């Protein structure tokens, strides 16, 4: 079936197709989810288990090891990480990207059901599908709007029961985390004197409360037509019930008279607020912070609209309490800015490409015809993206922006050839039919080679593969649609609307080029024809020319290739820091350190928030916050002008590390990474069995790392995880078993009493006033225990009613214990998270660490049974580079074989493929030129530009080779005449398609702004490769054809 002829005879089919594309594209725009970037993170499941009273070592022994033992059988798990904290454990399971997430959840849940032998008081594990490290799309502060008479931490219940609940109801929000709020608890405050009077101990109180808080189903009973459920209901759900719990019954054996001792006889029962575990301030005010983490694949813009509506709805309720919600971080600001910039670049690129066409075609109307393929292909691509379940993000839109100049290449070739036939005297129908048929093979082959290079990327399974897939889908669909439009729409319009009139009197909207451009074009053509006349007759000159160009290309690739980075980090309006103060600091001390940082930054606050108008050294800060805990300090800031956010990093670095011994990170969070170090974080893991040996080796590695990177290139930020010391100082009381026995006190009574009078003894979780809360026994103290000596005076009551101080039945010693114990793949591990100076490429930094740390400490580590390895972005860079290298190799093979099949010649296929190394040199030159103005590393997205070049730079070679073969076949020209004529007729479309592609992409590289850091490197590579290859192809391909083409064979084959 002759598709081109049918389209020319039945143009209504094409017009209907155009209307269908437009209508479907508009519908698809409302269906496609809008995000900042594709989801590149591997599926992660997080398991949290609480155990009140468990120390990190106990949590490791009783929870983590037992859970890890059953979880290692779960299929598809690539890595298991765990942390054993005080009273809590976390286990994170990372799955490969091909694993069905629902199946993984079910397998994890089933595995946890098989855990046996854990203490009864351990809470049931909770499973989350978004990890605690996932980047939130919003940060919201609950802050006072007037003076209030209590601490903000006391509003924890309000934040949890109202604010968090409302946010988690929003479709698209997977979880909300609260920082800084303290919850209500039920407190049983026991009086030691009354305990002594009634001869009761703390375990007596605890056992009575536990046995009284019972709610059990006891089956059912049938009576007549009815069935009654039987239930024993003994829940302690209010203070009055708790007060009436019977602790002890004293019975007189002679009189048989009994007396009951109720809890209210020895204790006070009341609601209380837990001690805060963190302090949070924002712009100088105490606040409670909430973040929102999105579900995978949601439309972030729509979700954020619901978030804003929820804030607006909640604020009138909160205002009554003197509070308000203020959103201090909104990811959609960056998303909107990024998408607006890409859209602007698409429009501007389209206009620049149209201007290039106008200069070549001298006809505004003909230019308009070709330019119509740009919006049609973009709109049609939206339909394909919606069908394939892709999101509309900066990466996929950048793919469309790159395609702007490329999608009109086919239309240019077709229209230019139709116009050439019009000049030869053919009518509109014949010119459109013959002109399109002549070049459809070249156009199809060009489109095929472009699409083929992206096929390997569609099956890449590394974490960054989703980025490649999104840009690949966008370009492939756009190129395929442009091929269809070029071979159907262009000839139909050319024929039916008579746009191409050779008579200047009839030419509509004639455009005259500036004379200087005509002069430059004529001068170039003159020199080009002169070169052809010089090179074609002499095989020796052709050989020397080819050898010289190939040699220079090889040398250029070798010397110009920069070192590699992983992924660009983006430019979010947020600087975030994780600080690790020296071990043993308490909450008050870390809060004082954080407040000191805040006071020094305060002059740079925006003036409305108390900034100093004379402070002009750094940009104005629109938001600053800190979260202080006893072991970590988190600080964050954003600037009034988002483009200046990087300029406050030196200020925050200077202030954050003033406290001696403080370690950590200060950087802009990556838009791709989960971790604080972003996409430049290198993890050096030290795994073994003995924690002290691991710490010894880790400390040596820490000092080596501080020395190996040149100081002049910037600071090397190192964050040990969990720390470089065993942990916090621990005051350990060791009971004297003999003295305990003499006083009738058990070790359990000793430990429970010490816990109750110091921190509060957790008993159970109860439901009171419709809220879950802890039930805790607290010993009544005459004064706060602020010194270690005061703990020795804690009163211990024996069953005989004797009250003795803790120190009389124990001895104490000061030691240290782990704040947390970390496992990676079942082994105890300490990790150095290293962020090298920004001027050192990641590949170089990895090599330095591999030599100085991994190999340098290997002998000592081996003797101590410790394994050292690099992970984080080190692993990801290696895996992604291997996948990209394989993809490039497969793409080269696919393109070469497809050319060989269609041309029936391996030699001619090699001639066409010579464009690839030429374009590679041009890509490196383009990247080098970009670095003269702004730093741009060769990251994995930029490397993708070289793969794109494989598909598009061969198009120019295809035009020359196919035209040469066609002239020898059809017109029986000699080899030299055919090459000359081919170069002469194809130089115009080659430069038209090359320049339209270059100018279509140029705005992506030229204009800075949100998101541009993701694709400007890629753009510079493609532009440089296209430009240099276009020039060199016109020089080297005619020379190669003189050496390789066999005109007798071509003529002979034409008769077959």
| pLDDT beyond 50 at 510 | no
The DSSP output letter for 721 is: E
* Cβ-contact 853, 704 below 8 angstroms: yes
User: Is 664 a member of any domain?
Assistant: yes
| 797 CB-near residues (< 8 Å, 6+ apart) | 192, 195, 196, 199, 200, 201, 202, 753, 803
Lowest mean pLDDT among 228-232, 643-647, 752-756, 1036-1040: 228-232
Query: What pLDDT does residue 505 have?
Result: 44
**Residue 537 sits in the same domain as residue 584:** no
| pLDDT beyond 90 at 87 | no
| pLDDT beyond 70 at 11 | yes
Query: What pLDDT does residue 255 have?
Result: 64
User: Is 861 a member of any domain?
Assistant: no
Query: What pLDDT does residue 364 have?
Result: 75
Strand, helix or coil at 147? coil
| pLDDT beyond 50 at 97 | yes
231-238 — which CB contacts under 8 Å span 24+ positions? Answer: 235/766, 235/767, 236/186, 236/209, 236/212, 236/766, 236/768, 236/775, 237/766, 237/767, 237/768, 237/769, 238/768, 238/769
| pLDDT beyond 90 at 404 | no
**Paired tokens of 515:** 């004379």
Cα-Cα-Cα-Cα dihedral of 751, 752, 756, 761, to 10°? Answer: 120
| pLDDT beyond 70 at 784 | no
Cα-Cα-Cα-Cα dihedral of 804, 805, 809, 811, to 10°? Answer: -170
Considering only residues 165 and 449, tell me which one the structure prediction assigns the higher pLDDT. 165
- Start-to-end CA distance of the chain, whole Å, equals 22
Q: How many CB atoms lie within 10 A of CB 731?
A: 11
**Residue of 444, 567, 419 lying closest to 494 (CA atoms):** 419
Q: How many CB atoms lie within 10 A of CB 297?
A: 13
**Paired tokens of 844:** 């170089």
Question: In this structure, what CATH number is given to the domain that contains residue 23?
Answer: 1.20.1640.10
User: Is 98 a member of any domain?
Assistant: no
For residue range 990-1008, list pLDDT tens digits in order.
888 888 888 888 888 888 8
**Residue of 1019, 993, 882 lying closest to 446 (CA atoms):** 993
DSSP per residue, 577-626: EEEEPPTT--HHHHHHHHHHHHHHHGGGB-GGGT--TT--SSPPEEEEEE
Distance (Å, rounded) from C-alpha 171 to C-alpha 300? 10
**Residue 909 sits in the same domain as residue 1052:** yes
* Cβ-contact 202, 313 below 8 angstroms: no
| pLDDT beyond 60 at 900 | yes
CA angle 607, 610, 616 (to 5 degrees): 55
**Residue 519 sits in the same domain as residue 508:** no
Query: What pLDDT does residue 608 have?
Result: 86
Distance (Å, rounded) from C-alpha 481 to C-alpha 476? 9
DSSP per residue, 182-222: --EEEEEEE-HHHHHHHT--HHHHHHHHHHH-EEEEEEEEE
Split into its structural domains, the chain has a count of 4
Query: What pLDDT does residue 424 have?
Result: 75
Question: In this structure, what CATH number is given to the domain that contains residue 626?
Answer: 3.30.70.1430
User: Is 843 a member of any domain?
Assistant: no
Query: What pLDDT does residue 925 have?
Result: 93
User: If you average pLDDT over residues 184-199, what whole number do you get?
Assistant: 88
User: Is 1031 a member of any domain?
Assistant: yes
Q: What is the CA radius of gyration of the chain?
A: 37
Considering only residues 511 and 182, tell me which one the structure prediction assigns the higher pLDDT. 182
Query: What pLDDT does residue 443 have?
Result: 82
**Residues shown for the chain:** 1056
User: Is 677 a member of any domain?
Assistant: no
Of the residues 612, 642, 668, which one is the last residue of a structural domain? 668
**Paired tokens of 361:** 């075609």
User: If you average pLDDT over residues 970-977, what whole number do you get?
Assistant: 81
Q: How many CB atoms lie within 10 A of CB 81?
A: 18
For residue range 335-363, list pLDDT tens digits in order.
888 888 888 888 888 888 888 878 877 77
User: If you average pLDDT over residues 86-105, what whole number do you get?
Assistant: 80
Lowest mean pLDDT among 591-595, 723-727, 867-871: 723-727
**Paired tokens of 603:** 């002059």
**Residue 924 sits in the same domain as residue 1046:** yes
**Residue 520 sits in the same domain as residue 457:** no
**Residue 501 sits in the same domain as residue 580:** no
* Cβ-contact 490, 415 below 8 angstroms: yes
Query: What pLDDT does residue 509 have?
Result: 41
**Residue 416 sits in the same domain as residue 376:** yes
**Residue 966 sits in the same domain as residue 1039:** yes
Of the residues 668, 701, 725, which one is the last residue of a structural domain? 668
User: If you average pLDDT over residues 810-839, what whole number do you get?
Assistant: 86
| pLDDT beyond 60 at 1055 | no
* Cβ-contact 386, 407 below 8 angstroms: no
User: If you average pLDDT over residues 815-830, what whole number do you get?
Assistant: 86
| pLDDT beyond 90 at 643 | no
For residue range 428-478, list pLDDT tens digits in order.
778 888 888 888 877 888 788 888 888 888 777 776 777 778 888 888 888
For residue range 48-77, list pLDDT tens digits in order.
998 887 888 889 989 999 999 999 888 888
Mean pLDDT of the chain: 83
User: Is 929 a member of any domain?
Assistant: yes
* Cβ-contact 367, 378 below 8 angstroms: no
DSSP per residue, 698-710: HHHHHHHHHHHS-
**Residue 380 sits in the same domain as residue 439:** yes
DSSP per residue, 384-430: HHHHTT--B-HHHHHHHHHHHHHTTHHHHHHHHHHHHHHHTT--HHH
Question: In this structure, what CATH number is given to the domain that contains residue 244?
Answer: 3.30.2090.10
**Residue 447 sits in the same domain as residue 422:** yes
Classify strands 323-330 and 267-273 as parallel, antiparallel or unpaired: unpaired
**Residue 368 sits in the same domain as residue 504:** yes
Of the residues 476, 496, 512, which one is the last residue of a structural domain? 512
Structural domain boundaries enclosing 925: 514-560+904-1056
For residue range 734-753, list pLDDT tens digits in order.
888 888 888 888 888 888 88
User: Is 142 a member of any domain?
Assistant: no
> HSE of 287 in the Cβ direction (CA atoms, 13 Å)?
24
pLDDT interval class at 619 (50, 70, 90): very high
**Residue 507 sits in the same domain as residue 536:** no
* Cβ-contact 433, 5 below 8 angstroms: yes
Q: Does the bond joining 722 to the residue before it have cis omega, within 30 degrees of 0? A: yes
Strand, helix or coil at 643? helix
């Amino acid at each position: 079936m002759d598709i081109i002829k049918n389209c020319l005879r039945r143009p209504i089919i094409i017009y209907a197709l155009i209307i269908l594309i437009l209508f479907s594209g508009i519908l698809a725009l409302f269906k496609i989810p809008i995000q900042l970037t594709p989801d590149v993170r591997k599926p992660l499941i997080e398991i949290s288990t609480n155990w009140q009273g468990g120390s990190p070592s106990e949590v490791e022994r009783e929870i983590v090891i037992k859970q890890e033992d059953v979880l290692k059988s779960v299929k598809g798990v690539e890595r298991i990480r765990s942390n054993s904290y005080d009273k809590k454990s976390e286990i994170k399971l990372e799955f490969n990207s091909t694993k069905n997430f629902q199946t993984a959840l079910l397998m994890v849940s089933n595995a946890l059901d098989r855990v046996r032998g854990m203490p009864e008081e351990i809470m049931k594990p909770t499973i989350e599908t978004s990890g605690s490290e996932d980047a939130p799309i919003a940060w919201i502060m609950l802050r006072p709007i007037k003076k209030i008479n209590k601490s903000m931490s006391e509003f924890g219940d309000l934040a949890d029961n109202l604010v968090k609940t409302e946010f988690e109801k929003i479709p698209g929000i997977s979880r909300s985390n609260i920082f800084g709020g303290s919850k209500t608890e039920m407190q049983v405050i026991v009086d030691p004197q009354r305990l002594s009077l009634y001869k009761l101990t703390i375990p007596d109180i605890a056992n009575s409360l536990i046995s009284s808080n019972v709610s059990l189903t006891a089956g059912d009973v049938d009576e007549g037509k009815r069935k009654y459920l039987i239930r024993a209901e003994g829940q302690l759900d209010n203070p009055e019930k708790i007060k009436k719990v019977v602790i002890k019954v004293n019975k007189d054996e002679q009189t048989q008279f009994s007396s009951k001792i109720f809890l209210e006889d020895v204790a006070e029962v009341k609601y209380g607020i837990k001690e805060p575990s963190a302090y949070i301030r924002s712009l100088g005010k105490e606040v409670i912070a909430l973040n929102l983490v999105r579900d995978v694949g949601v439309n972030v813009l729509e979700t954020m609209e619901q978030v804003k509506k929820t804030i607006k709805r909640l604020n009138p309720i909160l205002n009554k309490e003197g509070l308000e919600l203020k959103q201090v971080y909104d990811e959609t600001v960056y998303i909107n800015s990024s998408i607006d910039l890409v859209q602007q670049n698409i429009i501007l690129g389209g206009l620049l490409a149209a201007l290039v066409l106008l200069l070549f075609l001298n006809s505004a109307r003909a230019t308009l015809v070709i330019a119509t393929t740009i919006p049609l292909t973009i709109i049609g691509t939206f339909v394909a993206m919606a069908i394939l379940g892709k999101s509309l993000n900066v990466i996929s839109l950048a793919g469309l922006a790159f395609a702007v100049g490329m999608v009109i290449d086919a239309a240019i070739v077709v229209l230019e050839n139709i116009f050439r036939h019009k000049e030869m005297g053919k009518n509109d129908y014949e010119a459109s039919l013959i002109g399109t048929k002549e070049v459809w093979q070249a156009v199809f082959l060009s489109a095929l080679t472009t699409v083929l290079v992206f096929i390997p990327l569609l099956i890449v399974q590394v974490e960054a593969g989703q980025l490649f897939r999104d840009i690949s889908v966008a370009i492939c669909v756009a190129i395929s649609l442009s091929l269809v439009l070029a071979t159907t729409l262009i000839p139909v319009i050319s024929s039916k609307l008579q746009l191409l009139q050779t008579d200047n009197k009839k030419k509509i909207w004639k455009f005259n080029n500036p004379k200087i451009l005509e002069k430059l074009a004529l001068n170039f053509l003159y020199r080009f024809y002169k070169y052809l006349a010089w090179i074609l007759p002499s095989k020796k000159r052709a050989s020397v020319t080819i050898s010289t160009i190939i040699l220079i290309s090889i040398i250029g690739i070798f010397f110009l290739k920069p070192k590699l980075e992983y992924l660009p980090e983006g430019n979010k309006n947020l600087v975030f820091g994780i600080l690790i103060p020296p071990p043993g600091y308490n909450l008050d001390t870390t809060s004082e350190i954080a407040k000191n940082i805040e006071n020094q930054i305060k002059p740079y606050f925006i003036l409305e928030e108390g900034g100093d108008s004379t402070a002009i050294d750094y940009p104005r800060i629109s938001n600053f916050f800190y979260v202080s805990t006893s072991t970590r300090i988190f600080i964050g800031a954003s600037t009034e002008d988002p483009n200046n956010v990087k300029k406050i990093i030196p200020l925050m670095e200077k202030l954050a590390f003033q406290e001696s011994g403080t370690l950590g990170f200060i950087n802009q969070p990556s838009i791709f990474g989960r971790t604080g170090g972003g996409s430049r974080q290198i993890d050096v893991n030290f795994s073994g069995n003995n924690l002290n040996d691991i710490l010894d080796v880790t400390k040596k590695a820490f000092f080596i790392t501080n020395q190996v990177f040149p100081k002049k290139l910037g600071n090397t930020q190192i964050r040990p995880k969990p720390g470089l010391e065993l942990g916090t100082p621990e005051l350990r009381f060791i009971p004297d078993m003999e003295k305990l026995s003499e006083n009738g006190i058990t070790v359990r009574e000793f430990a429970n009493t010490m816990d109750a009078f110091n921190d509060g003894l957790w008993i159970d979780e109860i439901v009171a006033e419709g809220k879950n809360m802890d039930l805790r026994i607290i010993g009544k103290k005459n004064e706060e225990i602020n010194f270690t000596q005061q703990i020795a005076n804690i009163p211990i009551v024996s069953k005989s009613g004797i009250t003795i101080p803790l120190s009389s039945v124990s001895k104490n010693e000061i030691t240290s214990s782990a704040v947390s114990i970390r496992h990676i793949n079942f082994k105890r591990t300490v990790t150095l998270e290293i962020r090298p100076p920004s001027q050192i490429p990641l590949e170089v930094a990895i090599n330095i660490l591999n030599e100085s740390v991994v190999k340098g400490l290997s002998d000592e580590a081996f003797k101590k049974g410790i394994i050292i390895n690099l992970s984080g972005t080190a692993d990801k860079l290696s895996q992604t580079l291997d996948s990209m290298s394989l993809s490039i190799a497969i793409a080269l093979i696919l393109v070469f074989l497809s050319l060989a099949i269609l041309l029936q010649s391996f030699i001619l296929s090699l001639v066409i493929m010579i464009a690839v190394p030429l374009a590679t040199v041009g890509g490196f030159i383009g990247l080098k030129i970009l670095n003269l103005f702004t730093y741009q590393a060769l990251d994995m997205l930029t490397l993708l530009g070289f793969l794109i070049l494989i598909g598009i730079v061969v198009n120019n070679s295809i035009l020359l080779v196919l035209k040469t073969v066609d002239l020898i076949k059809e017109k029986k020209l000699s080899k030299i005449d055919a090459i000359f004529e081919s170069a002469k007729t194809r130089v115009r479309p080659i430069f038209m398609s090359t320049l339209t592609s270059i100018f279509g992409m140029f705005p992506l590289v030229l204009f800075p702004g949100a998101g541009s850091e993701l694709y400007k490197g890629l753009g510079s590579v493609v532009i440089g490769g296209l430009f240099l290859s276009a020039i060199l192809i016109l020089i080297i391909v005619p020379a190669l054809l003189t050496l390789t083409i066999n005109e007798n064979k071509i003529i002979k084959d034409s008769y077959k």
